[in-house]
């Protein structure tokens, strides 16, 4: 091989190496970009799910308090206007449960049963027959809410460890 032929091959190899290096860099950058976008979407979904669980827990606690107030007033023989105002408050707090419950059930189906149980335990306070039943059902609602909170803690802890 002459000196000119060697230089030509060396130049071809250098150009080919540059092109392959550029191609490899592009492929690696595209993959890193996809991974970053996937991680951002996962973090956004996790934040949305955590916000939904938190909103649901707050809404359930608010509704439990307003239901207890309504039923306590009703059982103690409060006047109709006071009971009516308390009932109106329960309509507002019950309505506040709907969106976060749906979001939790959609984004975190593994919490669906616990979420439904907490909500139903709170709804069960309506129409109790005496103070003992009211206290018993209030306690059951608090326990169901605590179970939802614990289940949520386990789901998010597993997610942080990479287990879910």
Residue 58 CA, chain-centre distance (Å), reads: 13
**pLDDT tens across the length of the chain (164 residues):** 566 677 888 888 888 888 888 888 888 888 888 887 888 888 888 999 999 999 999 999 999 999 999 999 999 999 999 999 999 999 999 999 999 999 999 999 999 999 999 999 999 999 999 999 999 999 999 999 999 999 999 998 887 666 55
> What span, in angstroms and rounded, lies between the C-alpha atoms of 43 and 48?
9
Q: For 146, how many CA atoms within 13 A lie in the half-sphere containing its CB? A: 6
Domains (range + CATH), the chain:
44-161 (1.20.120)
pTM of model > 0.75? yes
């Amino acid at each position: 091989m002459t000196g000119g032929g060697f230089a030509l091959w060396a130049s071809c190899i250098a150009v080919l190496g540059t092109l392959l290096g550029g191609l490899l860099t592009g492929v690696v950058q595209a993959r890193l970009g996809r991974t970053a976008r996937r991680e951002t979407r996962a973090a956004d979904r996790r934040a949305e799910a955590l916000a939904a669980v938190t909103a649901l827990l707050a809404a359930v606690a608010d509704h439990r308090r307003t239901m207890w107030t309504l039923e306590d007033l009703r059982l103690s023989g409060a006047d109709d206007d006071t009971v009516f105002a308390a009932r109106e408050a329960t309509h507002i707090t019950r309505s506040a449960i709907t969106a976060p419950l749906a979001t939790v059930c959609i984004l975190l189906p593994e919490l669906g049963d616990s979420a439904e149980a907490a909500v139903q335990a709170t709804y069960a306070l309506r129409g109790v027959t005496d103070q003992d039943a009211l206290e018993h059902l209030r306690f059951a609602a608090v326990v169901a809410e605590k179970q939802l909170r614990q289940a949520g803690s386990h789901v998010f802890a597993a997610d942080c460890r990479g287990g879910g």
